[in-house]
Amino acid sequence: MKRITWDQFFLAQSHLLALRSTCTRLAVGATIVRDRRIMAGGYNGSISGGDHCTEHGCYVIDNHCVRTIHAEMNALLQCAKYGVSVSGAEMYVSHFPCLQCTKSIIQAGISVLYYAKDYKNHPYAVELLEQAGVKVIHVPFDEREIDFLGDEKAALYTELLERLREKGEDEESLAHYEERVNTLFG
């Protein structure tokens, strides 16, 4: 088994946090790290004890869900709540932060921002990060690496291919699908 890099590890953590998201529009996770130690994590969702978008729908005003606190803010607020300084720390986010989160990241003193996926990257957010001297690093990340159901999915595809074979599907067509299944699941 190939050992993942630290950047991949912390992005995997952010993707795991995103699995807790209660946002129906986009699941995002954020992890704050100092000296290769996790300080805090957050995902996008409602306030503690509040209504969740998954249960009550999004509360959209001006094309934004106002019910949701973004993952980056939740991670920063967790540090603030417990009196932990993030000055000079690094943040790993599953998606490029919005403009408001970008401003909070800068103001909190985050020195390096790692992200896995572009998402409506606001040009002013990019400009602000540059002005503030926050190093921004795109780290491609394959979410399938943390797919807890990967084995079950692969078994299902294999079973379906066998059923097609039993029903007389030609081997040339099946070979194409088997190749795709092997590419997806190894």
The residues carrying an active-site annotation are 72
Q: HEC profile for 42-77?
A: EECECCCCCCCHHHHCCCEECCEECCCECHHHHHHH
Q: Is 54 left (phi over 0), alpha (psi -120 to 50) or beta?
A: alpha
**Helix or strand or coil: residue 130?**
helix
Interhelix angle 171-185/150-166, nearest 10 degrees:
180
